[in-house]
A and B are shown apart, each in its own frame.
Chain A
Amino acid sequence: MTYSPRQLGLPFVQAALFTPDFLEGKSNAEALAWLDRVADWPLGRLALWGDAGSGKSHLLHLWAARNRARIIPGPDLALRPPSGAIAIDDADAAAEVALFHMLNAAAEAGWPVLLTGRAPPARWATRLPDLASRLRATHAVELCEPDEHMLRALLARLLAERQVAVPEAVQEWLLTRLPRTAGAMREAAARIDRVSLAARRPVTRQIAALVLDDDFIESADGLSPAGPSLL
Chain B
Amino acid sequence: MRGGVAVSSGSINQRAVYAAEPQPADEHRLSAQWARVRGRLQTEVGDAEYRSWLRHVALVGVDGDEVTMRLPTRFLRDWVRSHYGERLNDLWRAEDDRIRRVDIRVGAGAPPASAKAPTAASAISPELPPAELPAREIPARAAAVPRGEDRPEIRGDASLDQRFTFDSFVVGKPNEFAHACARRVAENPASQGFNPLFLYGGVGLGKTHLMHAIAWELTSPARVGAPVSVAYMSAEKFMYKFIAAIRSQSTMEFKEQHRSVDVLMIDDLQFLIGKDATQEEFFHTFNALVDAGKQIVVSADKSPSDLSGLEDRVRTRLGCGMVADLHATTFELRISILEAKVARTGVSISSKVIEYLAHKITSNVRELEGSLNRLVAHANLFGRAITLETTQEVLHDILKAHDRRVTIEEIQRKVCEHWNIRMTDMSSERRARNVARPRQVAMYLAKQLTSRSLPEIGRKFGNRDHTTVMHAVQRIGSLMASDVGFAEDVELLRRMLEG
Contacts and interface: CB of A to CB of B under 8 A. Distances in A.
Interface of A: 19-26, 30, 33-34, 37-44, 49, 62, 65-68, 81, 85, 101, 104, 107-112, 120-123, 129-130, 132-134, 136-140, 142, 145, 147, 149-150, 153, 156-157, 160-161, 176-181, 184, 217, 221-222
Residue picked from B129, B132, B377, B380, most chain A C-beta under 10 Å: B377
B136 interface: yes
30 contacts: A19-B75, A20-B130, A21-B73, A21-B129, A24-B52, A26-B48, A33-B382, A37-B381, A40-B377, A42-B376, A43-B370, A66-B133, A66-B135, A120-B397, A120-B398, A123-B401, A129-B301, A130-B268, A133-B203, A133-B367, A137-B366, A138-B370, A140-B397, A153-B53, A157-B75, A177-B454, A177-B466, A179-B456, A180-B452, A221-B452
Interface in B360-409: 363-364, 366-367, 369-371, 373-374, 376-378, 380-382, 397-398, 401-402, 405
A178 B466 CA distance: 12
A104 B268 CA distance: 12
Contacts of A30: 382
Contact of A66 (B55, B136, B456): B136
B236 interface: yes
Contacts of A109: 140, 144, 159
A85 B139 CA distance: 10
A24 B49 CA distance: 9
Contact of B370 (A26, A42, A111): A42
Instruction: List the 9 closest pairs (A to B, CB-CB), nearest first.
Output: A137-B370, A120-B397, A110-B140, A20-B131, A42-B373, A20-B129, A110-B141, A133-B204, A122-B398
A105 B54 CA distance: 41
Interface of B: 48-49, 51-53, 55-56, 72-73, 75-76, 78-79, 108, 129-133, 135-136, 138-141, 143-144, 159, 202-204, 234, 236, 240, 268, 301, 363-364, 366-367, 369-371, 373-374, 376-378, 380-382, 397-398, 401-402, 405, 451-456, 466, 470
B114 to A, nearest CB: 21
Contacts of B234: 104
B12 to A, nearest CB: 21
Contacts of B371: 137
Contacts of A111: 138, 140
B131 A62 contact: yes
Contacts of B301: 129-130
A128 B276 CA distance: 21
A123 B451 contact: no
B136, B138, B203 interface centre (most CB from chain A within 10 Å)? B138
Contact of A221 (B55, B204, B451): B451
B133 A180 contact: no
A19 B452 contact: no
Contact of A123 (B377, B378, B397): B397
Interface centre among A107, A110, A142 (most CB of B within 10 A): A110
Contact of B203 (A129, A179, A222): A129
Given A25-B48, A25-B52, A101-B236, A176 B138 contact: no
Nearest to A26: B48
A153 B373 CA distance: 35
A61 to B, nearest CB: 10
A47 B405 CA distance: 21
Contacts of B367: 133, 136-137
Nearest to B74: A160
Contacts of A108: 144, 159
Given A67-B135, A139-B377, 10 more contacts: A23-B52, A24-B51, A49-B397, A66-B131, A101-B236, A138-B370, A153-B79, A161-B75, A178-B453, A217-B456
